[in-house]
Amino acid sequence: MQPAHPPAIIRLYRVTRRYGVQKALDAVSLEIPANAFVFVTGPSGAGKTTLLKLLYLGLKANEGQVIVDGMNLARMDRHRIPILRRRLGIIFQDYKLIATRSVYENVALVLEAAGTPHRAIAAGVNSVLRTVGMEKRRDALPPSLSGGEQQRVAVARALVGEPRILLADEPTGSLDSVSAGVVMDLITRFHQRGGTVLVATHDQHLIRSVPARVIHLEGGKLVEILPCSDPGPLDR
C-alpha cells in the first residue's frame, strides 16, 4: 500500500542551536515533504540562516535531530559530508563566488569535486550557463559582473550537480525586480522538475509571488507554519 503522505525529505526534531548563551534556534521541530516549495521567513535575527546552515552542516545542532534525505546529521562522520553536499544546491546571500576564477570555473568546480568526467563537466556547465543566460560571460571574472549576473552564476553553480534539495538564503535580497524575477523563475523551474526548495527571505512580496508553504521564525522559535501561501490575483 502507498503511504498517505510522501515521506519527509527534511526533518527537524526539537533542534536547538546556541551561540554562547543565546539560542539562535530554540527547540524547532518541522517536516518538509519531498518536492515541497517552502519559504522560511521572520525578522532579522530570527534564525533563518542558522536553520539553513544546520541543513548543509555549516553548523551542528547543540540538541535535537536533523535528518536530510535519510541522513542523520548529528551522527554523520566528517568523510560523509561530501555525500550530503552533493544532494544539496546552496545559494548564499553574498553569492560566495571565487573572485579569481572565471564564471565557467566557478560552476565547473562543483562537478570536479564530485569526480564527474571531464567531457561531462563541459556539457553540464555549458548547459546550465545557457539556462541562466550567462553563456556569453563564461570567461568573465565575478568582480566584473553586476549583482544580478553574479546571482545567476550562483544559481547555476547550485543547480549544475542536479541536487535533490535547493537551499537559498535571500536569493533576491540585493537584486532589482527584473533580476529577482529571473532568479525566482529558475528556482521555480527546479521545483517543477521535482526538486525540493527552501528559500529564506523576509520579503513578503516574494512570498506572495509563489504558492508555497511558509515557515515563520521569531527569536529562534517556530511561531507558525502556513500550509500554502495564496499568490493572489496576478495583476496585484
Ligand X SMILES: Nc1ncnc2c1ncn2[C@@H]1O[C@H](COP(=O)(O)OP(=O)(O)OP(=O)(O)O)[C@@H](O)[C@H]1O
Q: Which of 7, 19, 100, 136 binds ligand X (CB under 6 A)?
A: 19
Q: Which is nearer to Mg ion, 48 or 138 (CB)?
A: 48
CB of residue 49 vs Mg ion: minimum separation in angstroms?
Answer: 3
CB of residue 214 vs Mg ion: minimum separation in angstroms?
Answer: 16
152 binds ligand X per the rule CB under 6 A: no
DSSP for the chain, please give it: ---SSPPEEEEEEEEEEEETTEEEEEEEEEEEETT-EEEEE-STTSSHHHHHHHHTTSS--SEEEEEETTEEGGG--GGGHHHHHHTEEEE-TT----TTS-HHHHHHHHHHHTT--HHHHHHHHHHHHHHTT-GGGTT--GGGS-HHHHHHHHHHHHHTT--SEEEEESTTTT--HHHHHHHHHHHHHHHHTT-EEEEE---HHHHHHS--EEEEEETTEEEEEES------TT-
46 binds ligand X per the rule CB under 6 A: yes
Q: Using CB under 6 A, which residues numbered 184 to 213 contact ligand X?
A: 202
Q: Which is nearer to ligand X, 122 or 226 (CB)?
A: 226
Q: Which of 15, 24, 128, 183 binds ligand X (CB under 6 A)?
A: 24
CB of residue 17 vs ligand X: minimum separation in angstroms?
Answer: 8
Q: Which is nearer to ligand X, 18 or 164 (CB)?
A: 18
Options 42-50, 107-115, 120-128, 155-163: segment touching ligand X (CB under 6 A): 42-50
Q: Using CB under 6 A, which residues numbered 49 to 88 contact ligand X?
A: 49-50
Q: Which residues bind ligand X (CB under 6 A)?
A: 19, 24, 42, 44-50, 202
